[in-house]
Each structure stands twice: as C-alpha cells, then as structure tokens.
Chains A and B, each alone.
Chain A
Amino acid sequence: MKMGKVAGVFLAIFLVILPPIIPARASAVTSRDILERVDDLWRGKSSYAEMSMNVVTVHWKRSLKIKAWSLGKDYSLLTITYPPKEKGIATLRAGKEIWNYLPRVNRVIKVPTSMMMAGWMGSHFTNDDLVKESRMSDDYDSRITFKGEREEVPVYEITLIPKPDAPVVWGKILVTVRQDELIPVTSLYYDEDGNLARTMTFSDVMRLGGRNLPATMALTPADKPGERTVIHYSVLKFGLGLKKNFFSIRNLSRRDLSQ
C-alpha cells in the first residue's frame, strides 16, 4: 500500500513534470542552432587545415593539395602546395572580397564581381562559395521540415529559404544533419526554379582537431553527370591564435606558406 502511494506520487510528479519537458526539448533544438553548429564545425575562433582536392570533369582530372587558415567568419587564406606548376597560388578572402596571388607573374588580382560564380581553381566550388561559406544562418530563413530516420540514421532535415533581400544564388537549400552529433550528411542546392543544381555529401566522420566531423566533402553538380569535386581533410587544428594581420594581401605572396 505504501509502495503504491509512493508510486502514485512519483507518477503524479512525472505527469506534472513530463509534459513541459517534451516541448522544451523540441524547442531547445532550433533549426538555427543546428545550422550554426554545422557552420562552426570546421571552424574555431581560428583554424588551420591541410586538405586534398580532387576534381573530376569530363575533360580532365586533377589533384591539388591545399593549406588553409581561417579566422572567425570573415577571413580565410588558402595556398596550393601541390602540384608544382601551381604551387604558391594563394587565395585570400576578407569579408566579401577575394584576391588571388599568382607566383608565376608575381601579381595579386582581386576577383571581380563578375567572376564570383566561376569555379575556384577549376573546382566545382565557386568563389562565391568561399565568401558564403559560413553565412547560411545569416542569409537564409530556416525551419526543420523533417525529423526521423533516413537510411536508419535519425536525422533532421532543415529547409533554408533565402531571406527576401539576401544576395544569394540559390532558391532553396535542404540540409540533412545527423541527430546524435549534429553532423551534416548532405546539402542539396536548388536553383530559383526549384531544380536541383548540386549536391554536397559529407562522409568519413573522424576525430580531427579534437572534434568529430566528416573529413570528406563531395560536391556533384546536377547538370554535369560524372563530374565532381572531393575535398578531404587530413589535418585540422583549432585555436591557433592567428591575428587579423596574418590575412593580408602582403602575406599572400609569402613563399613559406606553401612549403
């Protein structure tokens, strides 16, 4: 009898407490939180990465090795270390602007607005992708449009619609994120007519820089069958204490960066 009472009290407490808990849990994970988490995954306050980029097109295949540094949302610097023909070519992004350094002609060239949609170093990533890299949560309105299992993995599907005056090229982006660690699985980019334009797939989740994250990203354009760009991270470090002045045009031409 006593036990029954105790159980009854517990049950009552549960009944009182439980209902608020469930909505609280649901609202705790907003689409915005997930996106910011995803955005920050490869980036700390500052970061350093070594990666390979393999580009396959109908006409050629090539492999690049790249070193990259970043600071916050606005600064990044990439330099090619391989192949020898392109070694030392470097790209600086500061805010919305991009400069390329060309060692062969020893010049720094600012990428004009008209070239923002051109591929970066022959890849399927555009210059614009470098700029927009981490601004998904700024430029898009998002909401969770699916919550459940896809291929036996519990995921969130987040639909991003550009804000009315956001300077973006996509009409819609669908991001699928694993529920357990909020690690992205795919991003589908749709054009303004609602057609799939390209797919980004994330794989090879491993421990890099003290975090669990996908080491491989593959971008496949929908209109060019057989083509793709795959980026694979081999080294990733966070919290290097890089300063803003590291991300300068002058630094672009430093030879030791590409060593």
Chain B
Amino acid sequence: MTILRIAWRNLWRNPRRTGITIFSMSFGLTMMIVTYALMDGMYGQMVQFATILGTGHIQIHKPGYLDDRSLYETIDDPAKVLRVVDAAGEGHAAPRTYATALVSSGPQSAGGYIWGIDPLRERQVTDFQHHLASGAFLSEGEKGKVVLGHNLARTLSVGPGDEVVLLAQAADGSLGNAVFRISGVLQSIGETFDRTGVLMESDDMDELMALHGRIHEVAVRLTRPDRLTEALTRYKTLMAPMGLEVKSWRELLPELSEVLKLSSTSTTIVLFIIFAVASLGIVNTQLMSLFERTREIGVMRALGLGPIPVAVIVFLETIFMALISAIAGGAGGALWSWYLEVHGWDISNLGGSFAYAGVTFDPHLRASLTPPAVIQSIEIMLVVCVLATLFPLFKATRITPASAVGRGH
C-alpha cells in the first residue's frame, strides 16, 4: 500500500512532465483507435460492397460450375435448395442463372453477361436496387424488362424506356432472341458488371435460354456476416446430400480475401508504430524522473529498501500513467471513431470514387467502432509501455546508496 502511495505521489511531483507524458500517451491511443476503426470500416465496406453488389456471403453451385461457368452445369432442383436454405434460417437466398449474350440496340452491339434473377429474393440478398443511376429496378412478375450495367448502357447509348435485343445461344442449341425494354441503369459498381451486366427476371431468362427451370447458383446473404465460418459448415452439411458445392465469399473473391488477410497484419504493424513513437515519451519521462530522484532513491535504499521495491515503484508509476491514458485516450478514440462511424468521412476530394481489388467504393469512408478496436489498442499500448519502462527499471535497480547519496547534491 505504501509503495502504491509513493508511486502515485511521485507522479505528481512534476505534474507538467507527467501531464505531457499522459497527454502524448492518450493522444497516441486515440489515434490508434481511430486508425483501427477507420481501417476496419474500410475493409468492412470493401467486403460489404463486394458481397451485397454481387457475390453474397455464400454461394451454392453444382461442383465444377465455377471452373468454366458452363451453361449446362446447373442446379436441377432450385426449389428444394431454396427451401433448405430458407429453413436453415442463417440468411436470405436468391436463385440466379447466368449466360453470355449479345446485347444490341440499333447499330450498336456489345457482349453481355445476363443474370436471370428473382427480383423479390434478389432484393434481400444484393443491394442493386439502391444503386440505380436512372430508372427503376426489376419488379416481380413484370416481364420483358432488363436493368443494364453502367458502361454497357453507355456503349449502347441507351437508357430507361429504350429497347435492346438480346441474342444468345440457348441450352438446346437454338438461337435465343428477344426484345427487352430497359427498366433501369445501375451506377458503377465494379469493372466487369459495369461493362457487361444485364439483369432480367428469371422467367424471361428461362425462356430465352431454354433452361426449363434449371439455375446456376444460389447466393446467400447472411443475417450475421461475422458467423461466416459456422454458416459455411452448416450449409456444406445441408448441401452434401444434394451433391452441391458451397463456397464463401473468401473463396469466391480470393483477391479481396488476400487483401484482407494482409490488412489485419498491416493494421497491427501500423498500430505498433504509432504507439512506439508515443512510447519514446514514456522512456524519456521515466529516465528524467529517475535521474532527478537518484539521491532520494539512494536514501530509500540506505534505509533498507531493496532494489525490487524500487523497481516496483518505477513500474507502478508507468502503470498509473498508462491506466489514466487508457481511460482518457480510450474515451477520446471511441468518441472520435463513433463520430466517423455516424457521419463518415468524405474522401472524395482526395480523388473521387475509387476501386480496389476490382471493387468500386463509395468515397464516403465510414469508421467501424468495435470492442476489439479499443481493447486491442489498449493492449498494444500496455505492452509498449511495459517494454518502454524496462530500461528505466533496470537503471533504477542499479542505484546504490553510496553512489547516489555520495553525489553530493
């Protein structure tokens, strides 16, 4: 108890120096938390963009479909798959059919990649309907309409209300062809989709491609995206009897997945660097106060205090400062991150909308404040503090009564 009190009192012997140290530690911690939350937010946005604008969290296919996306590698009983996925209750599911086609309007034509979708279900899995540049999204039961990708519409110089002809080799070898009216045009959401994407109602697609109810994919959006691994295992078990393959977005978007894997490491490194700089202040404070108190410590040693209690006092001083900083910096970082989470950070003036790993981003960066952002930052701070205090600690144990008192101050 006495030692605790001595340590506490020592801190306030030079309030300015202690104050500056606490301030720099708190500020360092705040920056760590904000950086952590911003990076988390950015990666979260990347995943969200990639999953809600196409992939979904989990996809179900016939094994081998993803290798060459053949028109004939189909799920033959989509109703059953949807029933099982719905019953599992992990999220929403949407059936999809894909085909390459020629999209043509007047003298212009371009290669297209058609998505045959169930508008009602697709709305719950992807977020296309909120990324329209013009016009309206497909609605259930409304036949003969398509929604086009951003650049495709531009290449064909068409917009909502115009007609396009779709030409494709159907599953029976015949030349599928039909006229569709453009219902809407999407915003830029990703390089490939922008250039080739065509969304149409699954019934229209079925007729055009002569698929007789067969589909290529069931995409799932999880209610709890953080439970990806558990949901994946669950679906794998459910789909195994039907001979279907289940993959998560991590496998479906390996590029993005790699970036993310790398990112958590890089976040930790960045945090360490931020705080390592702040920790120089701690080393400095402790060495200075030690130097100032050499004589005093010498007296304490002369009165019978061993080297260990002296070290404990110095250590406790650091811990006190670290705890005060943890509270102040933690609160500051959390508040700032929360502000950036609610209001976002418009980085469009730093270069407009941008794409990373093939995903187009909203230039409105949003932080994501999670308990790990605060806890992990504090942990890193404490580790760095302890490391920073090792040297002053070592110095403190080396002070002997004779050398200290004999210095003649």
Q: Which residues of A pack against B, CB within 8 Å?
A: 55, 57-62, 85-86, 89, 100, 102, 104-105, 107, 109-112, 114-115, 118-119, 121-122
Contacts and interface: CB of A to CB of B under 8 A. Distances in A.
Contacts, number: 57
B177 A112 contact: no
19 contacts: A55-B173, A59-B72, A59-B173, A62-B173, A100-B167, A102-B165, A105-B177, A105-B178, A107-B104, A107-B165, A109-B165, A110-B107, A110-B109, A111-B109, A112-B109, A114-B111, A115-B102, A122-B169, A122-B175
Contacts of B230: none
A109 B109 contact: yes
Interface string B109-122: 11100000000000
Interface in B289-332: none
Nearest to B167: A109
A118 B111 CA distance: 11
A62 B110 CA distance: 27
Nearest to B104: A109
Contacts of B109: 109-112, 115
B28 to A, nearest CB: 55
A119 B170 CA distance: 12
Contacts of B104: 107, 109-110
B173 A122 contact: yes
A60 B179 contact: no
B192 to A, nearest CB: 15
Interface string B169-207: 101111101110000000000000000000000000000
Nearest to A105: B179
Contacts of B172: 60, 62
Interface string B133-173: 00000000000000000000000000000000101010111
Contact of A102 (B167, B169, B171): B167
A104 B102 CA distance: 16
Given A102-B177, A107-B179, 14 more contacts: A57-B173, A59-B72, A60-B171, A61-B173, A62-B173, A86-B175, A102-B165, A111-B109, A112-B102, A112-B111, A114-B110, A119-B169, A121-B175, A122-B169
Nearest to B168: A118
A134 B173 CA distance: 27
Contacts of B171: 59-60
A109 B111 CA distance: 13
Given A100-B167, A105-B165, A110-B107, A86 B174 contact: yes
Contacts of A59: 72, 171, 173
A102 B177 CA distance: 7
A60 B175 contact: no
A114 B178 CA distance: 20
A104 B178 contact: yes
A58 B171 CA distance: 11
A45 to B, nearest CB: 31
A90 to B, nearest CB: 11
A115 B112 CA distance: 11
B111 A122 contact: no
Nearest to B107: A110
Contacts of B111: 112, 114-115
Nearest to B178: A105
